[in-house]
Structure 1
Amino acid sequence: MAVKQKEHKPLHLAKLNIKKGDTVVILTGKDKGKEGTISRALPQINKVIVEGRNIVKKHIRPQGQTQQGGVIEKAMPIHVSNVMLKCTECGERTRVAHDRRPMGADQKKRVVRVCKKCGKVIQDRTRSS
């Protein structure tokens, strides 16, 4: 039986509007309506892993004498079309726009993510500033 291969994009072409640390709302599936934080983004296959959501039980075979076998619970990837970003300002789920705005101490124009509903900049959780 032939297994369908996942199509990988070249890394320089793989782009997502959602980043690690963003809060998202799940739109479809068994966790529909629940919120979570992105723990890992997989742009080459258009998927994200949300902390504590889309949990499945996985049977693990023991690896030598170090790792014990058994059943573990693991968060599996969700397609980005099935999650929606929650705005840091207005608190609603929203689409993402990109805009060039003066940012930082030098007021140089940089591309930022903007909420389509309130028009304010979406704060990046992974950066401290």
Structure 2
Amino acid sequence: MAAAKIKKGDSVVVRSGKDKGRTGTVLQVMPKEGKVVVSGVNIAARHRKPTQVNPQGGIDRREAPLAISKIGLAVDGKPSRVRFETKDGKKVRVAVKSGETIDG
């Protein structure tokens, strides 16, 4: 897989799917699978039986991984693609829409 253009801690917008338009922060990046986990997006509910550790049981809600192609880096609240450029001998990420340098 190519270099990760989305990193942990980035603010992103969901481009497609049931959570289209929602924003969140990247909690985890899985480059080998091509997936990311975004806070508050793609919530999966898991029904748990009562156990000795958790006698109440109940429903666990947590963020499930999302395809990296479904998200875009948030630039002024709107999704943007990312490209790499070399500035002052350093490789930096640049938002395609605005030309704004993301880090560096």
Q: How would you bin the TM-score normalised by the shorter chain? A: 0.7 to 0.9
Among candidates 65, 86, 93, match of residue 113 of structure 1: 93
Please tell me whether the aligned partners of residues 71 and 79 of structure 2 are also in contact (alpha carbons under 8 angstroms). no
Equivalent AA in structure 1 for residue 82 of structure 2 = V
Are 2:79 and 1:79 aligned?
no
Identify the residue that residue 97 of structure 1 maps to in structure 2: 83
Q: Give how far 1:33 is off.
A: 0.8
Distance 2:2 2:48 in 1: 31
Tell me how far apart the structure 1 counterparts of residues 34 and 82 of structure 2 sit (CA, whole Å).
Answer: 16
| Separation in 1, partners of 2:99, 2:14 | 22
Greater share of residues in strand: 2
**Would the aligned equivalents of 1:20 and 1:41 in 2 still touch at CA under 8 Å?**
yes
Structure-2 separation of matches of 1:92 and 1:43: 23
Return the letter of the residue paired with 1:101.
Answer: K
Find 1:66's aligned residue among 50, 53, 56: 53
* TM-score of the aligned structures, taking structure 1 as reference length: 0.70
Secondary structure at the residue paired with 1:81?
A: helix
Q: Is the 8 A contact 1:95 1:115 kept in 2?
A: yes
**1:55-74: CA deviation from partner (whole Å, max 9, x where unpaired):** 121123456x3344321101
- Given residue 53 of structure 2, which amino acid in structure 1 is its aligned partner? T
Q: Deviations over 1:1-24 (max 9, x none)?
A: xxxxxxxxxxxx563210111111
| Cα distance in structure 2, aligned partners of 1:122 and 1:14 | 18
Deviation readout 1:37-86 (Å, 9 max, x if unpaired) = 111111110000110111121123456x3344321101101101111111
Give the aligned length: 103
Q: Percent identity?
A: 38
Larger Rg: 1
Higher RCO structure, 1 or 2 (CA under 8 Å, sep 6+) = 2
**C-alpha spacing 1:42/1:61, structure 2 compared with 1 (3 Å):** farther
* TM-score normalised per structure 2: 0.85
